Structure 1
Amino acid sequence: MPALMPLLRLRIRRDRVQLLLWIIATVLLAYSAQSGVSASYGSLAERKVLLQTVVANPVILLFRGLPSGPDDAAFMLFLILPWLAMMAAFMALFLAVRHTRGDEESGRAELIGATRAGRSAPLTATLIEGAGASVLLGLLVAVVSLALGLAPGGSLVAGAGTAVAGLVFLAVGLCAAQLMRTSRGANALGVWVLLATFLASGIGNALGTPSADLQRIESSWLAWTSPFGWIEQTRPFADDNWAPLAAALGLAVVLVGVAYALHGARDLDGGLVPERPGPAFAPASLGSVWALAWRLTRGSLLGWGIGALLTGALATGLASVVTDMGGKVPAVQQLLQALAKGGSVNQGMIVIFYLVAGVLAACFAVQTVSRARQEEAHGTAELVRSAAVDRVVWLASFVVVALVGVVVILALAVAGSALGALRAGDGSLLGDAVISGAGQAAAAAVFAAVTALVFVVLPRLTIGLGWSLVLVTLMLGLFAPLFGAPDWVVNLSPFAVAPVPEGNGADLRGLVWLLLVLVLAGGAAFALMRRRELEADG
């Protein structure tokens, strides 16, 4: 144990800014949600109407929580609990990979392993730090809820759910770090697990059974396959059910045991998922820096593209779900008819799904530009630059591949929508899908330019700040309008101002701002890169 204390102090010193930002952002979300709900949905009648609307369009449940009644506290947690859990999950996941696989890549783990601390000490120190950060975040969420005058029982359940989400994905990150050979691969695997389980919970809620008064939903079996689903089943301020958290904690314990077992079964700096050996001689197609950037990122493009293809197919293929549900529940049918007066309900569904596709494209953009930072930190960028490659051209290769990948990902989403429309026998939504896809491509491209600017100005914050920008702007786009925030706050999110279908046309008002930010941030990044030296220290 004494050998762990220096490691813990070192980790806390390295992470103090990042962890502080994650915790503050999450606690602010919990606080603003309560004040926003009170301001925007202060009456019981307003909350009942919104819950009825949500049940009428179950696709909304893919991106919200589990309706548990119209009481103000339960209603607030329905809106934000999955996102509090997601914030905790991302924080713990990235921490786990950064201090295990990341330190092995940088050589720190080998130095520590050569001391009396032992080879498993970094893993143990990471577990202790991540668990402590997750528990602290959960406690602060509970304290904020109590400070706002909410019931103690529900406040504790909400805080515990947030903490448990962090613990589960801390364990997921530790396992991913043992499996994958690089921190990039481990982060990608962890993010995919997170997104898949989040979507499984949302679909499980959307396919659930509504109550007769349309104020509550009983999830389908699919929600019970996801840690997010277990956390939502606690229903803070409604049922205050602690039992599902036991299952989530059990999963975290099992995964931690798996991580230790895998750690002991592999060599230092090795991964259990073998890397494919490269050819003895490079093909002529790798003779340029552009081809190298493509070669380094094509695998991740395939993964994000498949996700976008499925998202686009769901956007049009699930149009019948809303109609079918309306036929089964008369009250839902009436609400659908009321919603249709202001426009197409299915148009709104397209916009929601393409927001997800835009997030996937933005993730690819951040991941691709962040690869430049990884190449620089590992020293491989210096080898490329030694071949008389201009530093601006080198950075441009990653940015251009990121922009091309964004277009490809959104094009695959539109192709998926075409398949979904063909299967549903309704091609009327395909034009809306094209407009939404083009709009989200512009939004996602902004993240490539902004991340490149961060890389040039604050290289060591490239990965953390790049991913944080995606998550924070997504939260603004989803929650700022709901909580009655001023337009200028909402418009800080590229996802919120992206062009969307509107009636028989499109709302293009945000396109000018997106293109302006893209040009300014990209231009600044390339201009500043001319005077920037390589910074190999990770």
Structure 2
Amino acid sequence: MSTLTGTRHVARLILRRDRVLLPLWVLLLAVLPATYAASFFELFPTEAERAAYAAGTARNPSIVALLGPAYGDSIGALTAQRSGFLLVIIALASLLTVIRHTRTEEEAGRRELLGATVLGRHAGLTAALLVTYAADLLLGLVTVAGLVASGLPAAGSCAYGLATVLTGIVFATIGGLAAQLTETAGGARGIGIAVLGAAFGLRLVGDTATHDWPSWLSPLGWAARVRAYEGDRWWVLALPLAATVLLAAVAYPVSVRRDLGAGLLPPRLGPATAGRALSGAFGLAWRLHRGQILWWSVGFGLLGLILGGAAQAAGRSMEGNAQLEEIMARIGGASGLADAYLGATLSLAGLAAAGYGVQAALRMRSEETDGRAEPLLVTGTHRSTWLLSHVVFALLGPVVVLAVTGLAIGLTYGLSVHDVPRELPRMVGAGLAQVPAAWVLAGLAVLLYGLLPRLASVAWAILAVCVLLGQLGAVLKLSQWLLDVSPFTHTPQVLRPQWSATPFWVLAAVALVAAAAGLAAFRRRDVPVT
């Protein structure tokens, strides 16, 4: 029997299980670069306007730190830079997809069941990598098609698309290696995300320093150095290819030499007995959710520091461009241009925080399907108590994340305008104003889990619709009734001189009603539902 026997069947199983989530992140991330290109064509039709934008914003140190460098002021170069942070998201999605179908499956015991059949030792890892590689390739093809259709040169579009594909492939392989190093999925995710954070840090330091050599050490830095649309340096693509081969050459031998269920690194043993904090459902939920809240807060705090420092330059870059002023005002809902930029930035942060709320709410579904909920519910723990213990963190997480984001933005923006006492509370309030809309999506996730648990992942599709409406609605000037589908359209615009708190209470009420309906449905249905 070959070590790859059964790879095709495992790949089909992965595609079956990810039939909703995989197309969702692939198509969503693939269409965004084309929308950026279309907006640049509309907003900056002349070379002089593009040069002014590049001078004022694209080469601002804070924006370069977040998105990467712009190697020119053509539409293609500006689009490639504007899409810079998408590489981080693609890398993260690829990384987590591989870990989900390798280490998570092994930890849950499903890998051992498959291994009892006619299945080669390399089949599981190979199937996970091939499916993720194929997803990244599809993402790249759709991206290239969209960029070419928007009017950008085919050669530059192919260079950018290939750089995107190979970035995802490198981090998918990093995920495959991380899955071999530790015996828990959480540990593997921690290793993979730490590597991604280090890569982002090296890219940030290299792009903002005098010498850019640290960026050449980062897989995230290689994509920018292809210089799509500005020279198309194809030879740089050899770096992610070589890195992929080297990482795979380490991951595969380790995968067959370790014991099933074990990792290369020895596990860190916990205490022999649980502390008092784990004596109830809420203590257990806190133990399960605390790491996510911490790392989301740290990440968005750092992001807020960068975005707040870029606000002044972004506001100046919009001066004199009536179309851009109108669109930013519609997105950000603020009177000043810097406030419009900050409003749009915090709106995106609100969408991301909604992602945390959905993820935390769907943790209940994974606890149920992995068999950990049923043993808990046969004790004295009431169903309502168990569900509410997770719902509390699904609602609390967005509050913490958005408060930290607003605090970081307010601090750096306040320092740049020499008015921290005024800007700090304004930005914290503007961040918290996004909370009710994020709660609505978390509430809908709870409703889906309680009522239709098999369709709980549809909550991610709802979030994707909100992202598309938020990103494309103002640029494409979609009808207001369509924009109103997203709860983020109704977010109180607290950066305006006059605003109403009514949307806040309405959105919060909708979220609580949805969560309460989910609780009622959960109390009546069977557990588990598989």
**TM-score (normalised: structure 1):** 0.79
Query: 1:125 — aligned with what?
Result: 127
Find the counterpart in structure 1 of residue 160 from structure 2: 158
Q: Which residue of 2 aligns with 1:140?
A: 142
Root-mean-square deviation (Å): 4.1
Contact 2:296–2:401, Cα closer than 8 Å, also in 1:
yes
Report the alpha carbon displacement of residue 189 of structure 1 after superposing the two structures with TM. Answer: 5.0
1:383 deviates by: 1.0
Unaligned runs of 5+ in 2: 326-333
The residue identity in structure 2 corresponding to 1:28 is: V
CA contact (8 A) 1:65 1:77 kept: no
Shift of 1:406: 3.0
Contact 1:36 1:484 (C-alpha < 8 Å) held by counterparts: no
Given that residues 22 and 87 in structure 1 are in contact (C-alpha distance below 8 angstroms), is that contact kept between their aligned partners in structure 2?
A: no
Which letter does structure 2 place at the counterpart of 1:525? Answer: G
Counterpart residue identity of residue 109, structure 2:
G
Alpha-carbon distance in structure 2 between the residues aligned to 1:315 and 1:35: 23
- Alpha-carbon distance between aligned partners in 2 of 1:161 and 1:25, rounded to the nearest angstrom: 18
Give the conservation status (yes or no) of the 8 Å contact 1:112–1:119: no
Which aligned pairs between 1:401-412 and structure 2 lie closer than 5 A?
Answer: 401-412=393-404
Cα gap change, 1:234 to 1:288, in 2 (>3 Å): same
CA distance in 1, matches of 2:258, 2:125: 14
Aligned equivalent of 1:67: 70
In the alignment, structure 1 segments of 5+ residues that lack a partner are 210-218
Q: Residue in 2 aligned with 1:212?
A: none
Measured after TM superposition, the shift of residue 127 of structure 1 is 1.9
Q: Distance in 2 between matches of 1:153 and 1:56?
A: 24
For 1:375-390, list aligned pairs within 5 A: 375-390=367-382
1:383 and 1:185 map into 2 onto residues whose CA distance is 24
Query: Which of 249, 254, 259 is the aligned partner of 2:246?
Result: 254
Say whether residues 1:8 and 2:14 are aligned partners. Answer: no
One-letter code of the match for 1:268? L
Relative distance call for 1:9 and 1:298 in structure 2 (3 A) is closer
CA separation of 1:122 and 1:509: change in aligned 2, threshold 3 A: same
Question: Aligned partners of 2:475 and 2:463: how far apart in 1?
Answer: 19
1:445-460 matches, within 5 Å, as 445-460=439-454
Match of 2:330 in 1: none
Distance apart, 1:160 and its partner CA: 0.7
The match for 1:529 is 522
TM-score (normalised: structure 2): 0.81
Per-residue Cα deviation, 1:395-449 (whole angstroms, up to 9, x for no partner) = 1110112222333334444555677589877423212222123123334333422
How far did residue 478 of structure 1 move? 4.3
C-alpha separation between the residues in 2 aligned to 1:495 and 1:273? Answer: 44
**1:161 shift after superposition:** 1.7
CA distance in 1, matches of 2:465, 2:200: 17
User: 431, 435, 442: which one pairs with 1:441?
Assistant: 435
Q: 2-side partners of 1:46 and 1:315: how far apart?
A: 23
The change in CA–CA distance for 1:527 and 1:108 in structure 2 (over 3 A counts) is same
Preserved CA contact (<8 Å) 2:406 2:429: no
**Aligned mates of 2:437, 2:238 — CA distance in 1:** 40
Match of 2:495 in 1: 502
Structure 1 match to 2:255: 263
Kindly provide the amino acid, as one letter, of the partner of residue 453 in structure 1: L
CA change 1:403–1:183 in 2 (3 A) is same
Residue 23 and residue 358 in structure 1: after superposition, are their counterparts in 2 closer, same or farther (change >3 A)? closer
Distance across 1 between alignment mates of 2:182 and 2:239: 26
Q: How does 1:173-252 map to 2 (within 5 A)?
A: 173-187=175-189, 189-191=191-193, 193-194=195-196, 197-198=199-200, 201=203, 205=207, 207=208, 220=212, 223-252=215-244
SS in 2 for 1:117: coil
Of 424-433 and 165-174, the range deviating more from structure 2? 424-433
Q: Which residue is 1:89 aligned to?
A: 91
Shift, 1:119, TM fit: 2.5
Which residue, out of 446, 470, 477, partners 1:477? 470
SS at match of 1:481: helix
Question: Is 1:77 the equivalent of 2:100?
Answer: no
- Native 8 Å contact 1:497 1:509 kept in 2: no
Counting only pairs closer than 5 Å after superposition, residues 272-421 of structure 1 correspond to structure 2 as: 272=264, 275-314=267-306, 318=309, 347=339, 350-351=342-343, 354=346, 358=350, 361-413=353-405, 416=408
Conserved 8 A contact 1:39-1:483: no
- How much has 1:349 moved relative to structure 2? 6.2
- CA change 1:439–1:253 in 2 (3 A) is farther
Deviation at 1:50, TM superposition (A): 3.5
The CA distance in 1 between the partners of 2:201 and 2:492, in whole Å, is: 24
Task: State the shift of 1:126 in Å.
Answer: 1.7
How far is the alpha carbon of 1:154 from its aligned partner?
Answer: 1.3
Q: CA deviation at 1:87?
A: 5.5
Residue of structure 2 equivalent to 1:29: 32
Partner of 2:104: 102
* Percent sequence identity over aligned pairs: 34
Supply the AA of the counterpart residue of 1:12.
L
Contact 1:311 1:354 in 2 (8 A): no
Do 1:204 and 1:220's aligned partners in 2 also have CA atoms closer than 8 Å?
yes
Quote the offset at 1:65 in angstroms.
Answer: 5.6
CA contact (8 A) 2:58 2:69 kept: no
Q: Displacement of 1:386 after TM fit?
A: 0.5
- Alpha-carbon contact 2:450-2:520 (below 8 Å) kept: no
Which sits farther off after the overlay, 411-420 or 12-21? Answer: 411-420
Q: What is the rounded CA distance, in whole Å, between the counterparts of 1:185 and 1:477 in structure 2?
A: 34
